[in-house]
């Protein structure tokens, strides 16, 4: 039996004995996945879970070629966490500087309504979650945390994060693709990293060695088109090599937490959808012609049987509506390409 098949079935909450029986029956992997995706939660486990077909399944996880076929959760449903998510990961053997930076960053993000997602590992992961929970104690309306586990929640790994585990289950959301009785393994944590990267709109790395798992998370994030940021540390330190590698390959340098929070909230905030202002048929026709001719007003004038006064009036109307402008060469440019489909 392949490891892929074995883990796929374990994620679906199927016992090892059932795995062996299905394998002997000759079922293919797609057939097995279809069979268990169609089963109801009560048939698999008492733990609530989502499948890719469920309405509450995170849309961003559909970007993964190997999206979790089941996502178990405890605490708040995912649709109750803040829509903007920043992933924060880093070294398990963090320095005091790294731990302090992570706590401050977690608190700053939560305070500004940004959900923090991490892996609840020793070191940076635990520190950023502590910062979020401390902020929640001060301000109950702060954004709750999300922790993605590399095992089922019958296990707490590392044991020292038991209290964090409990608090996040009460105040935030615990996620895992593994059923409750699935133990941690050397395969499950790297798999967990892809979920953190996919859920996050932005990823931050705080301290990472040359072979840190955080670099894998950053790689997943980059492949998915997420912005990657890194908190710089002193060159020559064991935890600086991975961060310096990220910065050298184009990651953004994070040196001021307040500026960073302002940047991500401003950049990812959804702008209100523009609608086309009320225009008569002639002005709509002129705007559409400008789009088709890329602003060549001379050719439009030749096609239209309008006077120069009429053309000037229409252009001024569109300019005042913020739909066109005149560049330094005197040519008209459209400022509303996204609205052109509304003309058709």
Look at the chain and report how many structural domains it folds into.
3
Q: Which range is most confident: 83-97, 282-296, 330-344?
A: 83-97
The last residue of one of the domains, among 268, 295, 325, is 268
Phi, psi of 298 (to 5 degrees): -60, -45
The predicted structure's pLDDT at residue 15: 46
Report the alpha-carbon distance of residue 110 to residue 130 in Å, rounded. 11
Is 291 a domain residue? yes
Phi, psi of 252 (to 5 degrees): -80, 145
Tell me what the pLDDT averaged over the chain comes to: 79
Report the alpha-carbon distance of residue 341 to residue 3 in Å, rounded. 49
Is 67 a domain residue? no
Look at residue 344 and give its three-state secondary structure.
coil
Is 197 found in the same domain as 99? yes
For 166-217, how does the pLDDT look when each residue is reduced to its tens digit (9 = 90+)? 999 999 999 999 888 888 887 888 889 999 999 999 999 999 887 788 898 9
CB 265 within 8 A of CB 112: yes
- CA-CA-CA-CA torsion sign (297, 299, 302, 303): negative
For 127-156, how does the pLDDT look when each residue is reduced to its tens digit (9 = 90+)? 999 999 999 998 888 999 999 999 888 888
- CA-CA-CA-CA torsion sign (50, 53, 54, 56): positive
For 51-110, how does the pLDDT look when each residue is reduced to its tens digit (9 = 90+)? 887 777 888 888 888 888 888 888 888 777 778 999 999 998 888 888 889 999 999 999
Conformational region of residue 250, where left means phi above 0, alpha means psi within -120 to 50, and beta covers everything else: left
Select from 186, 105, 112 the least CA-distant residue to 150: 186
User: Looking at residue 316, which CATH number applies to its domain?
Assistant: 1.10.10
Report the alpha-carbon distance of residue 15 to residue 22 in Å, rounded. 11
Is 140 a domain residue? yes
Q: Which domain holds residue 17?
A: 1-39
The last residue of one of the domains, among 237, 268, 299, is 268
């Amino acid at each position: 039996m392949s490891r892929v098949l074995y883990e796929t079935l374990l994620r679906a909450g199927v016992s090892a004995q059932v795995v062996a029986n299905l394998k002997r029956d000759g079922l293919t992997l797609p057939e097995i996945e279809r069979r268990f995706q169609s089963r109801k939660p009560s048939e698999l486990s008492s733990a609530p879970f989502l499948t890719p077909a469920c309405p509450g399944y995170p849309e961003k996880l559909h970007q993964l070629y190997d999206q979790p076929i089941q996502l178990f959760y405890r605490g708040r449903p995912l649709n109750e966490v803040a829509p903007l998510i920043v992933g924060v990961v880093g070294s398990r053997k963090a320095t005091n500087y790294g731990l302090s930076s992570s706590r401050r960053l977690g608190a700053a993000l939560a305070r500004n309504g940004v959900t923090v997602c991490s892996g609840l590992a020793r070191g940076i992961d635990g520190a950023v979650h502590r910062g979020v929970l401390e902020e929640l104690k001060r301000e109950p309306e702060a954004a709750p945390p999300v922790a993605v586990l590399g095992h089922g929640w019958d296990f707490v790994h590392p044991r020292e994060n038991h209290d964090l585990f409990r608090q996040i289950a009460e105040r935030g959301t615990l996620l895992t693709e593994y059923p409750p009785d699935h133990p941690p393994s050397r395969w499950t944590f790297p798999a967990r990293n892809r979920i953190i990267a996919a859920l996050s709109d932005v990823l931050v790395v705080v301290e990472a060695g040359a072979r840190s798992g955080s670099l894998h998370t950053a790689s997943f994030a980059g492949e998915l088109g997420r912005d990657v940021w890194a908190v710089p540390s002193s060159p020559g330190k064991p935890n600086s090599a991975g961060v310096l590698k990220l910065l050298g390959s184009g990651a953004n340098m994070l040196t001021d937490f307040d500026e960073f929070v302002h940047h991500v909230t401003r950049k990812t905030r959804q702008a209100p959808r523009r609608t086309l202002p009320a225009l008569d048929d002639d002005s709509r026709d002129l705007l559409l012609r400008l789009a088709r001719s890329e602003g060549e007003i001379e050719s439009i004038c030749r096609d239209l049987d309008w006077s120069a006064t009429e053309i000037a009036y229409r252009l001024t109307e569109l300019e005042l509506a913020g739909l066109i402008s005149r560049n330094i060469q005197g040519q008209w440019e459209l400022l509303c390409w996204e609205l052109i489909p509304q003309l058709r």
